[in-house]
Structure 1
Amino acid sequence: MDKQQSMSFTGYQKFVIFILAITQFTVILDFMVMSPLGDMLMKSLDLKPSAFGIAVSAYAFSAGISGLLTAGFADKFDRKKLLLFFYIGFIIGTIFCGLAESYATLVAARIFTGLFGGVIGSISMAIITDIFALQQRGRVMGFIQMGFGASQVLGVPIGIYIATLWKWEAPFWMVAVLSIFIAIAIAVYLKPLTAHLSLQRDKSAFAHLWHTVSKRDYRIAFTATALLSIGGFMMMPFGSAFAVNNLGVNYNQLTMLLMVSGVSSLLIMPVIGKLSDKINKYTLFAGASVWMMVMCVVYTNLGVTPLPLVMVFNILMMMGIMSRMIPSSALTSAVPDMADRGAFMSINSSLQQIAGGIAAAVAGMIVTQESKGSPLQHYNTVGYVIVVISVISIILMWRVNKLITKKQKYTQVTPLQEEAPQNLNEAL
């Protein structure tokens, strides 16, 4: 692959980036909308922070379990069919969330949604790794991760707005309707992805799962991903409640705050994606992690703060979060062999979801609130825990970077359309 080819995308590749990005938009929005609805849910359903933490983590735990259960099958089927199957299940689960009328039914609906939605990200990652070369993946990750920012710019503010007009269930109906149209586009326009099927050697799904988990290099990447997720998820569930009850932000200002943070993400992510393809991905990740640690400590120790200053701190913190997500995703995507990509991504996504669920539950145990509307207590402790976890993540990602550097000495990673080695790890 020459330099020009590695720098440009074909028309079909652009479509794949778009459809996966908008798919991620709906999945991320379905998960993220729980956080800004947090204060509303805690008041309307009379929930304590620990109970709300469980409602958030229920999705993550079920998603993680689902990913582990499906990992052995992830490389046994056409990736397009897998994506459609789990996306349709996700749509059904989101509809159930919209129908929920109590805390118990909401938690049950979140569990069902997580069983399907949690696998979609790993299938998308496997598709990206199949179609795009490593030299392109930084930019691809940048565009795919724009779903995160877009959910804040468009989805979350609109979700909060319609929730205030009707009820907290309304945003889930919005996600479900949009997802139906996306599922139709996937079914009609996405091409089958079956070339990996010819590389399969394991006779059973369990054997393939064990084969993937047993590789030492993979386990290092899995651990790094899990710790990254714990650090990333701990602040999220109580972000809106902290802004409202501690920083003095009202609901109208909260919508504006989320939009500003989302716009900054949309602007930052393509830049970081291009940058991660030009400079060392690990260097970018380490620098962004240090920046994020500083901003987390500063932000979680704030009291009542003017809205413009809260916006500035949110943007600065978002810069750190986004600038470490993109290079770390690109680095991790280079670890698995072609025959193991689906299983690797499923397990990696599962650990990510489970770690996120643990983070949300632990944050719910750390954070306390004396009464409705009173300031959250011990939120700054969450910031300090994130710092410790982030330091360990930097060390683990350094090991992942070393593995990839060593691997590239033996072979050049290429997209699936070209002749690629079947077992890169054996070369080591």
Structure 2
Amino acid sequence: MQARQPAVPFSGYQKFVIFILAITQFTVILDFMVMSPLGDMLMKSLSLKPQAFGFAVSAYAFSAGISGLLTAGFADRFDRKKLLLFFYCGFILGTIFCGMAQSYAVLVAARIITGLFGGVIGSISMAIITDMFALQQRGRVMGFIQMGFGGSQVLGVPIGLYLANLWSWEAPFWMVAGLSVAIAIAIALYLKPITAHLAVQRDKSAFEHLLHTVAKADYRVGFTATALLSIGGFMMMPFGSAFAINNLGITNHQLPMLFMVSGVSSLFIMPLIGKLSDKIDKFKIFAVASVWMMVMCVVYTNLTVTPLWLVMALNILMMMGIMSRMIPSSALTSAIPEMADRGAFMSINASLQQIAGGIAAAVAGTIVSQPSKGAPLVNYNVVGYVIVGISMLSIFTLWRVDQLTKKRMENKKVVIPEGEAVLSEGF
């Protein structure tokens, strides 16, 4: 087992950065996550088939992926604070348009706009994290940042569903937009410029920088690992609420409680996994979590009508596997790019993540079917089996990422002064 490493403490400003990035991720994730619990409501309200709803979900992912590729060449040429603020403001406008949508076509167009801006925010945040935090800190940082996922389920999704049940399915989008405006103001006022990467740029043009980043074999290993992880994650999610209601017998009023319980478990699990991944081997945590998740996916997708308490318990167990994969994999992948390439690497990485997720959601929509409105979903268990196969491949690709990271750390012994957190050359 890898030797335990001393924890590198956070400064006061670093704690603020973690908070502002976590709350930003909370809104972006909530905007995407809320589509799943609204799935049954949207499918009935707009008379949508599973395939049409799957396309509405994947529209965000595809546009986010395209946006990331288009901006990758420019990602290291501007102050990261300005980039974050620009794309976050665009995300807010897209979310407002979602709240104004009154038809399926308009909703898809609004999701495309939201994806064009929202899909880049995660990569900018990752570049900021890599610039400001040592590798020995990033497991904990990722744990806190990923709490946005759990927080969206604990607070955002249940409140959003309550508002949707009270008014209409558009209400959650207005809630996200209102909260995001306040966060954007905080970013503009209190986040300091992040410009250290500008001093080490080598490429003459944005296109050359993009090609330079894609050409590196080590980077492509990281891209592949991220894409495979995303395919597995996106396949089950779009139809989660429809499966719970139509197959498991969960009611619309019980659905917020189901998401809240899963989210609360995530808030406890993620910081623990983050701390653990900073102390012991990150890949071992990922591998064990992947096997656990595969077992739970097969069990869950084969359920029929099930008591609410058991559905909650199985959701928590499945969430343990999912979260325990996300944190160590993100930390390991963040160590691959050099400082000059971080923005481009993270943008391309996020693009492939979104595009792979969009393909996964669209493919899941072709696998899953519903004979009639309100009838149980068919072939949802097939999605679970596909996830198992993809997860096996992801274990191998992340093992390669782990080997690359360890090799780089052996070749570049970096001494960290006490209290110092900013490292160069990817560490």
Q: 1:62-102 deviations in whole A, cap 9, x for unaligned?
A: 00000000000000000000000000000000000000000
After TM superposition, list the pairs within 5 Å mapping 1:186-205 onto structure 2.
Answer: 186-205=187-206
- Written as runs of structure 1 = structure 2, the 5 A alignment for 1:16-415 is 16-412=17-413
Q: TM-score, normalised by structure 1?
A: 0.96
Contact 1:20 1:124 in 2 (8 A): yes
Cα distance in 2, alignment partners of residues 384 and 113 from structure 1: 31
* 1:253 shift after superposition: 1.0
Query: Letter of the aligned partner of 1:23 in structure 2?
Result: T
Q: 1:414·1:420 contact (CA, 8 Å) conserved in 2?
A: no
Deviation, 1:407, is: 0.6
Alignment partners' CA distance in 2, 1:296 and 1:418:
39
Give yes or no for contact 2:131–2:422 (8 Å, CA) kept in 1. no
Return 5+ residue gaps in structure 1 as ranges.
none
> Residue 330 of structure 1 aligns to which amino acid in structure 2?
A
Going from structure 1 to structure 2, the CA distance change for 1:418 and 1:53 (only over 3 Å counts) comes to closer
Offset of residue 414 of structure 1: 7.8
SS in 2 for 1:168: coil
Using the alignment, how far apart are the partners of 2:30 and 2:388 within structure 1?
26
SS in 1 for 2:253: helix
Query: What's the CA shift for 1:8?
Result: 1.1
Given residue 320 of structure 1, which amino acid in structure 2 is its aligned partner? G
The residue matched to 2:169 in structure 1 has which SS?
coil
Identity of aligned residues (%): 79
Contact 1:58 1:357 in 2 (8 A): yes
CA contact (8 A) 1:369 1:377 kept: yes
Separation in structure 2 between the aligned mates of residue 123 and residue 16 of structure 1, nearest angstrom = 13
Relative to structure 1, the CA distance from residue 186 to residue 401 in structure 2 (aligned partners, 3 Å threshold; closer, same or farther) is: same
Amino acid at match of 2:223: F
Tell me how far 1:412 sits from its aligned partner: 3.7
Distance 2:285 2:394 in 1: 14
For residues 202 and 41 of structure 1, what CA distance do their matches in structure 2 show?
47
SS at match of 1:234: helix
**8 Å Cα contact 1:97/1:106 also seen in 2:** yes
Structure 2: where are the runs of 5+ without partners? none
126 and 421 in structure 1: CA distance in 2 versus 1, 3 angstrom threshold: closer
**Which residue matches 2:424?**
420
Deviations 1:23-69 (A, max 9, x none): 00000000000000000000000000000000000000000000000
Amino acid in structure 2 at the alignment position of 1:9: F
Look up the equivalent residue of 1:374 and give its one-letter code: A
Q: Is the 2:134–2:422 contact (alpha carbons within 8 Å) kept by the matching residues of 1?
A: no
Deviation of 1:144 (Å): 0.1
After superposition, the Cα gap between the structure-2 partners of 1:316 and 1:421, relative to the gap in structure 1 and judged at 3 Å, is closer
CA contact (8 A) 2:66 2:116 kept: yes
Residues 134 and 421, structure 2, Cα contact 8 Å, conserved in 1? no
* SS of corresponding position for 1:59: helix
Q: Deviations over 1:331-352 (max 9, x none)?
A: 0000000100000000000000
Secondary structure, in 3 states, of the residue corresponding to 1:235?
A: helix
CA contact (8 A) 2:26 2:152 kept: yes
CA–CA separation in structure 2 for the residues paired with 1:123 and 1:412: 27
**Deviations along 1:196-237, whole A, 9 cap, x unmatched?**
001001000000000000000000110010000000010000
Structure 1 outlier segments of 4+, above 2 Å: 412-422
How far apart are the structure 2 equivalents of 1:40 and 1:417?
47
Does the aligned pair in 2 maintain the 1:35–1:239 contact within 8 Å? yes
- TM-score, scaled relative to structure 2: 0.97
Q: Is the 8 A contact 2:39 2:242 kept in 1?
A: yes
Q: Relative to structure 1, is the Cα distance of residues 419 and 147 closer, same or farther in structure 2, using a 3 angstrom cutoff?
A: closer
Report the AA paired with residue 185 of structure 2. Answer: I
CA distance in 1, matches of 2:367, 2:262: 25
* Cα distance in 2, alignment partners of residues 12 and 103 from structure 1: 44
Alignment RMSD (CA, Å):
1.3
Q: Is the 8 A contact 2:120 2:347 kept in 1?
A: yes
AA at the equivalent of 1:420: S
Judge conservation of contact 2:283–2:399 (CA < 8 Å) in 1. yes
Amino acid in structure 2 at the alignment position of 1:17: I
Shift of 1:413: 5.6
* Letter of the 1:32 counterpart: M
CA distance in 1, matches of 2:146, 2:87: 20
Q: Distance in 2 between matches of 1:349 and 1:284?
A: 23
User: Shift of residue 410 of structure 1?
Assistant: 1.0
How many residues are treated as equivalent by the alignment? 420
1:152 partner letter = Q
CA distance in 2, matches of 1:303, 1:60: 30
Provide the rounded CA distance (Å) in 2 between the counterparts of 1:271 and 1:118.
Answer: 27
Query: How far 1:419 moved relative to its partner?
Result: 6.5
CA distance in 2, matches of 1:413, 1:165: 56
